[in-house]
Chain A
């Protein structure tokens, strides 16, 4: 099979059409990806401000800078904004939208109009969610547990409506990705010759399409209860509040994998490219994504070991939970095996990928404590859980997002991100993250409950370390954005393939032309890096002469 030639387009997608309307009406997946990146980054900063407010308040054991009711609203807003507006859409909708069609060598996703619709639905849902949460002063935490939330039924219905609208955006993107991957793969790309990012996005899309409708059912039941007085969740009406937790986690646990699977896909790309070696155990990594997607539907009850659900249910959910450990461990082992014997280039995206492995390992290993029944009974709803899911979800998604952002930025904007700032940001986020969240494992083991406005004086020292860490992490995040944004002004022009990667997006110019490729290229092995050699003049990789 001969390698496709690098195709150079004339007008890149950024210059293809001018004016704000050309962006607002665009059907170009690349522009939609960029717009998603803009709004999810704004959400990250907003959620980050709430996080810093929470951490600042916790600097002392008693009142520090706000009242308890304000604090309760802050952690609610932090959780909801980060989960629903940042983590879930960030990698699939921003990076995925940009990269997926080009990796397939096609001009766009299968349904470009649906893609734009999903963006606007997202914007609508996001504005509605933030406005309603702010307006109703909702303080239930992002989990909206009944019957506490029943006292504030209007606020919960409104917030659930916001999440529901966002869910439609998720479903649309999922359908689009599934259809595109199924029907539009280029010649030579069977499922098992796809880049692993596509496997991860495929698995994620399946979860989005299958799990999100459960949210709609929950919302419908909440509304029926409120409008018609049917007792479903509220014990005052004869309902069962624990039922709400089942519904909530039946969606939200699979959603955890919506958050982390795309990150794993990005990491597989980064490790292979920067080790310049075919990814080890390709089919195991691909299958592990599908296994995680499937098993993710079977373990929701492990959030409820202390809820009063039956003993049998808890025992079954605990057993199922340990099965998730296997595909997760397979990925880590295979990434390490990919690095072995490679030619490792320690540049910003790779540093973020290594941070990911460090943080995800801690997140995964501490998951064993929480899957174990009697240990979970002690640790449930303490800071141990807070630390664990931040290691998985933030350590997972944020590190992969930044790694991916630095990796694909040259492709997206035709400029090389600032390497110095990039490395500095990786250092700050890594140190800041660990300083923030590692002490929380100790706090939780010692019995510090979560969602506490004030706490016992003996916990203060660890809380202060954690707060300092949060501000370092905040600085790291700002630096990460600075490192890419500054390149738009005076960054070096990016070559078509700055990293020597071999998936199809590196076969079009940076930034890609409006239509990506004039003719759909024939795919080659995405992890065969041997056809590229370094070109000093452009400081990028070019096809070897014999094959070009």
Chain B
């Protein structure tokens, strides 16, 4: 096991890793920007090193300072958390060059499965279904020919894209002609690259993701799925597990995820995301090669510690579980408490938290870096806390989450708590009729 690791992240996930390391008897070094000098992970870590000014580009993305901090403090490994450098193959390779263990997949894993088109190709090689789609389109005629074969609706996407930009849903040939050039221009403006491809558009899908864990030597287990369909502009707000899909379908999706991870001899924690349509067809969409924000859902229903497992596997230990050791117990829901005003289009609300009271009692977990007097820096994302409620059944977990949110007090800024209470109270949500358009369709008042 490592003696000391460095954590190249901030906020709740930095604290999560500090806690995991401490329980393993591993010392932690947290690197931080000047904006986070008084943050909880900095105060609770064994050591802390300032690596730059508030903008992330000069601090949390400053590879040279992060590596120098690891070397001068004698850390043996770097945990990247999520976001920032977590899925940066070049950073992972640089760590290895300096004899630091990157706590995550090997650089080649990240590069191959992190790139969208190469990930699709790998999935196809592994026999995992992907949404029918074209390669890069050279012309409108190519797009039309594809539409003839697959049928509408289709979605145009930018090859260089992400975050919804350059994307257009098209319902007909006339629509395609009109949208093709708009999407090209949008892609050129946003990414400097007008290249488009087109995919079958899955209407009202569920976003189902499978947690996998590999030892990097060919062994891969799956820790079941999470349903993350409640999203706003591709940002997840509430996640739960297990999903309400039929057991046979759940098993087939999980097996597909394992097949893909085994195909690349995946190392560490990863998530395979799928879109599932109303007829029970499922399509691989992407793989995230890191620990995810919503990992506690899986930890609560499987009784595992995924962050500790990441550290152990990176240190060369074998996986703690065989597939048959892993079973789902009960149901867990996680909500993201963001400093955003749900009444005003989720506008971020910076400021100082004047008072905080977290919920407690059975089956409730809070992962947060926030305390009374904490000033939210304007430089980073707005996540303040994750509240996770576990109970033997989904109905009980919903009631427990409602109870927990009503106990929670966060003063000084607006949060997403009122929004989550409305979701939990929504009849469609209660029946499990939740698709990725849930917020647009069921929550717009």
The reply to whether chain A is a binding partner of chain B is no
- B residues with a Cβ closer than 8 A to A are none
- A residues with a Cβ closer than 8 A to B are none
